[in-house]
């Protein structure tokens, strides 16, 4: 078992882990080159980026690798690390709703559906992944942004965008070669994200 696997086995089930600074947090997305390339060069999404569609941001690099197949899936060939302001990220969390109904959290399914319709953001907790993209016991946050949240994300929150496709391919190559220690050493450092319990209490299931 490598160091990355030893650390993840002790994680609580629901906790945000991310690369972050005092002011920003890094999330990941993957796009076709016609979107991802211009976004990385300009530090903003191009006009072709669809503002009327929900966009999902992911603080977990390895969950993004699972989703985009290390940048090899069609339409997801360009992997972006998007640095956004923590104020915006936490606004989205405070104004989000779980993407599915949970009896212990919601008064009724009708109440949940009403909350979902009125929320500009939604949250899913999906199994985190290891370097071989196998599932782990703890969960990884996915944050879906629509409407006002998507507009704020694109126009206000973004501090910078980096094309990390070469990094994804390098780590993937090391994993395929069986050198998990070297692959682990290249992973972005994702630490527990400090956020008040009240921000997440309506999102833990």
> 187 CB contacts (<8 Å, ≥6 apart)?
4, 61, 62, 131, 171
The pTM (predicted TM-score) of the whole model is 0.89
Among residues 192, 70, 184, 83, the alpha carbon closest in space to that of 141 is found at 192
CB atoms within 10 A of CB 9: 11
Reference 75, options 83, 67, 87; nearest CA is: 67
Domain that residue 192 falls in: 3-200
pLDDT in tens, the chain (205 residues): 444 444 445 788 889 999 999 999 999 999 999 999 999 999 999 999 998 889 999 999 999 999 999 999 999 999 999 999 999 999 999 998 887 656 666 666 666 666 667 688 999 999 999 999 999 999 999 999 999 999 999 999 999 999 999 999 999 999 999 999 999 999 999 999 998 877 777 776 5
Structure token digits, residue 189: 């450092």
Does residue 205 lie within any of the structural domains? Answer: no
Domain count, the chain: 1
Domain membership flag for residue 187: yes
Query: Within a domain: residue 26?
Result: yes
Is position 121 within any domain?
yes
Residue 203 has φ and ψ, to the nearest 5°, of -120, -5
């Amino acid at each position: 078992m490598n160091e990355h696997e030893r650390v993840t086995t002790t994680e609580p089930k629901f906790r945000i882990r991310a690369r972050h600074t005092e002011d920003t947090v890094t999330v990941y997305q993957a796009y076709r080159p016609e979107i991802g390339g211009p976004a990385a060069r300009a530090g903003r999404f191009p006009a072709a980026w669809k503002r009327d569609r929900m966009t999902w941001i992911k603080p977990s690099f390895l969950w993004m690798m699972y989703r985009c197949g290390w940048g090899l899936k069609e339409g997801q060939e360009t992997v972006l690390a998007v640095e956004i302001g923590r104020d915006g990220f936490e606004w989205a969390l405070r104004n989000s709703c779980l993407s599915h109904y949970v009896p212990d959290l919601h008064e009724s399914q009708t109440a949940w559906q009403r909350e979902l319709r009125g929320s500009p953001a939604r949250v899913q907790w999906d199994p985190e992944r290891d370097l071989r993209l196998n599932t782990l016991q703890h969960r990884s946050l996915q944050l879906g942004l629509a409407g006002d949240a998507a507009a704020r994300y694109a126009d206000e929150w973004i501090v910078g965008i980096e094309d990390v496709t070469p990094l994804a391919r390098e780590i993937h190559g090391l994993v395929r070669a069986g050198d998990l220690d070297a692959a682990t050493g290249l992973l972005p450092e994702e630490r527990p994200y400090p956020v008040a319990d009240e921000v997440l209490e309506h999102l833990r299931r």
